[in-house]
Each structure stands twice: as structure tokens, then as C-alpha cells.
A and B are shown apart, each in its own frame.
Chain A
Amino acid sequence: MTTVPQTIAPPQTPDRGIPWGRVLLWLAIAFTVTFSLTPVLWQVLTSFKINAAITQTPVVYLPGFDQLTLAHYVDLFRLNQFHVYMLNSALVAIVSTVLCLALGSPAAYALARLQIPGEQVILALVLVVTLFPYILLFLGLLELVRAFGLANNYLALIVPYTAINLPLTILVMRSFFQQLPKDLEDSARVDGYNTVQMLWRIVLPMTLPALVTTGILAFIFAWNEYLFALTFMTRESMKTIPVAAAQLGGTTLFEVPYGPLAAATVVGTLPLVLLVLFFQRRIVQGLTSGSVKG
């Protein structure tokens, strides 16, 4: 039998006209992106428009050069002290986040690794704490702040923020530690690492993605928190961004300062966006980096 050489046709995509599936997918993507981003973009746009353009009808979607201004931003820092507020926010958020991780991770590690009697009870209690609407803690905290004379003191915010974020940190970090293979720690101990070296050089680097993730959550909460910041900080120089933004006033009682509000929103959000963008690569990298088994 002779084999007839056959030309092998490349597999042809059957001509099915318009690929509706793909079109729908992209429509859905476009819709979702627009839906989520519009408010943000609207604020950004408003923050750069002069007052006349903001209030003008019909709405100015594409302002001309003469309708653009940086005045709202300049005012934030010149008329108001937004650099101070930002520093306050940053200080409170950073310190409470660091405290949260520094206290929560060891606790989580102990709960994950040591067989502590009553571990289940401790975990249940930690979980119960997260169930409290934090507003309910408010009156009690107010009394405490008064009793300790902590009004207009950073500690009045740092301590509650840390405490509120601790349960989440402990739960997330504990489940992460549980996933870390025990063999790695055993191996480190055989290699000669003592406990501190092992935690610092072996466990911590592997924990970084989880630390960053929980840290970002804690940071966002502290950065955005309004109620405590409003009540415990009355002095102008101690205010945080959300409070300061809410208290922006117009030149008269009846004027709503859309421009400055929008600018304050952008200024207040930008650090968070940058933070997430900066650490995002680290998170993804951490989650996909190699584990132990083959």
C-alpha cells in the first residue's frame, strides 16, 4: 500500500460571523470599569475645573484650557493646612498598622504553631470582637479618652485603630501561618537557626505577602476612619484627612465648595492608590513564589 502524501490543512477557524461572546465580554468589561471609575473620574475632573465651569450647565465634560486650574489644590495647602492633616493621617495610620502587625503576627503564630490549651476559646473570643459594630465601642472609648486625658493626642486614635484591626490581623495571619509547611521551620532549626533567627530570616520573608495584604487593610481602615478622629481630635493641628475634608467650608454659609472638596478627595485617596500600586507587585509575586514540594 502506498501512502499518498497529504497536505495537512491548517485548522481553520470556522467563519461564524460576529463573535458575539467576545463582544459581550468586552461590553461587560467596559460597563463595569465605567460604573466603578466614573465617580472617581468625576471628582478628579471637578478638582481641576474653575468654579464657573463646575457649576455651569450643561455640564462641562471636556474643559478648555481656560477652564482648568490648580487653584483648588493650592488652596488646600495654603488656606487650609492639608499637609498637616496628611501628616497626621499618615502618622496615625502607619503607627497603628505597624503596631497591629507587630502585635498580631506573633499572636497568630503562637495560635497556629503552639498547642495552647484553650486555643479554640481564644479564637472564638477574637472572632466575637470582630462582630461588634465599632460604633458601639464609641461611648466607652470616649470615657476612656477622657479618663486618661488623651484628647488631642495621637494615642487616642492609634490605640483604638490598632485594637479594632487586631482580630482581623490575627485571624488572617493565623491561617497563613498554618499553611506554611512545618518542615521548613524544623529544617531551619536543624540548620542551626535559633527561634528569633528562624522567625526573622525564614518565617518572616515567607510571610511578607500576608503581612502586606493585612497591613494594607489595616492602613486603609485607619486612613479613612472618621468618627473617632472627629470626636477625639478637636484641635486644628491634630485633625486627620477625612475630618478635615468634611469640614471644608465655602466662603459663605450657602456655598458648597465643590472644587476644594473634590481636590481634598483626590489628595486623600492618592496615597492609598499609590500604596496599593506599589505593593501590588509584591503581593502577586509573593503569592506565586515557590513553595516546598515538587
Chain B
Amino acid sequence: MAKLELQNLAKAYSRDIVPVKQLNLVVEDNEFLTLVGPSGCGKSTILRLIAGLDQPTEGRVMIGDRDVSPLPPGDRNIAMVFQSYALYPHMTVRDNVASGLKLRHLPAGDIQKRVQEVSGVLGLDPLLDRKPAKLSGGQRQRVALARALVRNPDVFLLDEPLSNLDALLREQVRADLKQIFADQKSPIVYVTHDQTEAMTLSTKVAVLNNGYLQQLGHPHDIYKTPANRFVASFIGSPQMNLVTLSRTGNTVTLSDFTIPLPIGIQAASVVLGIRPEHLRLPREGDAHTVSGQVFLVENLGMHDLVSLRVQGDPTLTLRALLPADAAWSRENLQLALPPESIHWFDGDTEQRLTT
């Protein structure tokens, strides 16, 4: 078992196309790191750099205490699951799973034993002699997983392994994945643009944008204290409400409503962020409330996602997640902003202001 370490990793295709910039990351044993970010944020490139499929322009990839940067992919002892599964179409499932072991000249008995073990765990036994063409999408996905698991690699890499599955199956496989990888000791790096996968599977999430690491932390911390405006808007669904406000003294005004700033904030302009699920109907003793007219209600089953125009400023809209059974008025809905749920960001640097 070995930890994976990325040191000053950078990749540039040309002077203007730099998908990865100065990345430092450590993934320990038993850690499940998810790289999450919008398309083009460099997350897949990072995975390819770790795998050795692309060469970094700068920096090193360390597995254990070994610098694997100069090694070809096959000598790094990593396993990778591709989005397209990339099963060899002319081989049976058994050969697909065993191919990596055969290349390493393991004794035939050992290979068979390991294939049996993995196929048992993944329920592939009845499929072992079929060709990939005869498998459903979910089955192919499991074969791709089996091919990675059977290798007992030092590092697992998974590149959006669920995005080719339909929604129902994806949820189920996501749960399976979590169980399967809970038993694995090796570090796991998982790439996705789906924040649900990131939140549910990982012990650590790295949010990326424009080639830079925006925040690294436990999923809970990233949700609770996003490091900057980008992370705040990217993590969490429905999206966080983010409103740029100018300050007057130690308060900001949200249209007709005045909200005091926490002590110690120096920034000239601030961004107020509050998640829709933290806006609620006012109770006795709520200090800060806003009201406005509801113009859209989206029924999500358990909750209603309510969009309202803040009174006094028609360009200012907020979205709130309210319990479906709550009673409220469309014309004049009052919402409370619990101070502990408000995130403040610097309007210029977009960095988080409160801790």
C-alpha cells in the first residue's frame, strides 16, 4: 500500500492551453479523493498525468516514496476505470479481467483464483465467457471495475465511471461502489462532474476550476465552509444564492433590508451567500428577514423550490427550499436568514471572509 503524492504538477499543451497549474495533492491509504469541477477544469488531465498517459510539463507524481513520473503507465501499478469502460471487444469477460495479470506473468492458478474472487464480489460469474457486445451497460461497467480490482493496484483511478449509466442504475452502482471501495486499502482518485457522487463517495474532495485547486477537504467541510465564491456556487444543489452587495459602514443592504456585517470584515464590496435549504419561514426572534413576491415554484416532492423577487429590487431574486407542507403566501413571502448560515465572500477576490 502506498500514498499518492502530486508535487507541483503542471501540464501545458501550449502557452494558452494550460489545463493543470501547480497542483499539490496527497492521497493517503484508505482515502477516496474525488476531483470535481466543471468541464475543462483539468480534472481528467490530472488523472491522465497520474496514470502516465500524458507527461506533465512540470512536477512529479510519487507513489509511495517512488517517483513514477518517468515510468510508462504499465509500470506504475495503477488501475484505471474509463468512462467508456474500454473493454477489449474481442476478448471474453474472463480474458478482459485477466489480461493485466497475464501480462505480468502471474501463475495461471493465481490468476484464476483472483478472477474468481473479483467476479464473485461483482456478480460476474455467469458472464465470464461472454463477449462485451453481449453485455448491458451496467454489466460492462462491472467488468471494467473487475478489471481494476483484480490487479490489486497501488492506486485506483476512476474517470467518470458512472456517467454512461441511466439515472436509476447510477444511484444503485454508486452505492455498490462505495461498499466495494470501502474494502480497498489503496488510495482512490475519482473524477466526476457530478457533485452528488463527490459528496457521497469521497473522504476528501478537491474542487477544481481553470486548472487550479479551489478547495480540498472533507465533503462536509466543503459544503459547510466553501473557500470561495466558485466552490460555494459549484457545490450544493440547488445552487447557493449569491448576491453582491455594497456596504455602508458595518451593514449591507439587501434592497429594503439591512443586514449587519460580521465584525472584522474590511472588504469594500461583499458577496452574501446563503443556501436555499437554509432560508426558512421566519420564527419568533429571527433578526434578519427579507420578503418578496414568489414568481416560480418547483415541486421537488419533499420540498418546494421557491423563487422570489426581493421587495424593492425586482432584479434581486432568491431561491428557497421550503417544506412542501408549509403554508405561505405567494404575494408576500417572508424568509428568515439565519446568521450562522450566511457565507460572506470578498466581492473582489471572491475569497471567503468569515471562518
Instruction: Please determine whether A291 and B89 come into contact, CB atoms closer than 8 angstroms.
Output: yes
Which of B87, B100, B136, B138 is the one whose CB lies under 8 Å from A292?
Answer: B87
Within 8 A of B (CB), among A3-32: none
The A interface is mostly helix, strand or loop, or mixed, namely: helix
Q: B90: CB under 8 A from chain A?
A: yes
Instruction: Please determine whether B141 and A190 come into contact, CB atoms closer than 8 angstroms.
Output: no
C-alpha spacing A190/B90, complex, angstroms: 18
Instruction: Please determine whether A187 and B80 come into contact, CB atoms closer than 8 angstroms.
Output: yes
Q: B53: CB under 8 A from chain A?
A: yes
B residues near A206, Cβ cutoff 8 Å:
89-90
Instruction: Please determine whether B104 and A192 come into contact, CB atoms closer than 8 angstroms.
Output: yes
Instruction: Please determine whether B74 and A194 come into contact, CB atoms closer than 8 angstroms.
Output: yes
C-alpha spacing A172/B3, complex, angstroms: 46
Which of B90, B100, B132 is the one whose CB lies under 8 Å from A192?
Answer: B100
Instruction: Please determine whether A290 and B132 come into contact, CB atoms closer than 8 angstroms.
Output: yes
Instruction: Please determine whether A187 and B133 come into contact, CB atoms closer than 8 angstroms.
Output: no
Instruction: Please determine whether A191 and B100 come into contact, CB atoms closer than 8 angstroms.
Output: yes
Which of B79, B86, B164 is the one whose CB lies under 8 Å from A184?
Answer: B86
Q: Report, as a range, how many residues of chain B touch the other chain.
A: 35 or more
Instruction: Please determine whether B86 and A187 come into contact, CB atoms closer than 8 angstroms.
Output: yes
Instruction: Please determine whether B84 and A183 come into contact, CB atoms closer than 8 angstroms.
Output: yes
Instruction: Please determine whether B80 and A190 come into contact, CB atoms closer than 8 angstroms.
Output: yes
C-alpha spacing A202/B100, complex, angstroms: 12
C-alpha spacing A194/B133, complex, angstroms: 25
C-alpha spacing A187/B90, complex, angstroms: 14
Q: A231: CB under 8 A from chain B?
A: no
Instruction: Please determine whether B103 and A292 come into contact, CB atoms closer than 8 angstroms.
Output: no
Q: A67: CB under 8 A from chain B?
A: no
Number of chain A residues whose Cβ lies closer than 8 Å to a Cβ of chain B: 22
C-alpha spacing A129/B131, complex, angstroms: 41
Closest beta carbon of chain A to B47's beta carbon, Å: 10
CB-CB under 8 A for A289 and B90, given A193-B74, A194-B74, A197-B103: yes
Closest beta carbon of chain B to A203's beta carbon, Å: 10
B residues near A294, Cβ cutoff 8 Å:
85, 135-138, 140-141, 164-165
Q: A205: CB under 8 A from chain B?
A: yes
Q: B335: CB under 8 A from chain A?
A: no
Within 8 A of A (CB), among B48-74: 48, 51-53, 72-74
Closest beta carbon of chain A to B46's beta carbon, Å: 15
The 5 closest A-B CB pairs, nearest first, are A290-B133, A294-B137, A192-B74, A187-B86, A183-B86
A-B contact pairs, 9 of them (CB 8 A): A183-B86, A186-B51, A192-B75, A193-B74, A194-B72, A289-B90, A290-B132, A290-B134, A294-B135
Question: Contacts A189-B53, A292-B132 given; 8 further ones with Cβ under 8 A?
Answer: A183-B84, A186-B53, A190-B79, A192-B104, A205-B90, A289-B89, A290-B131, A292-B86
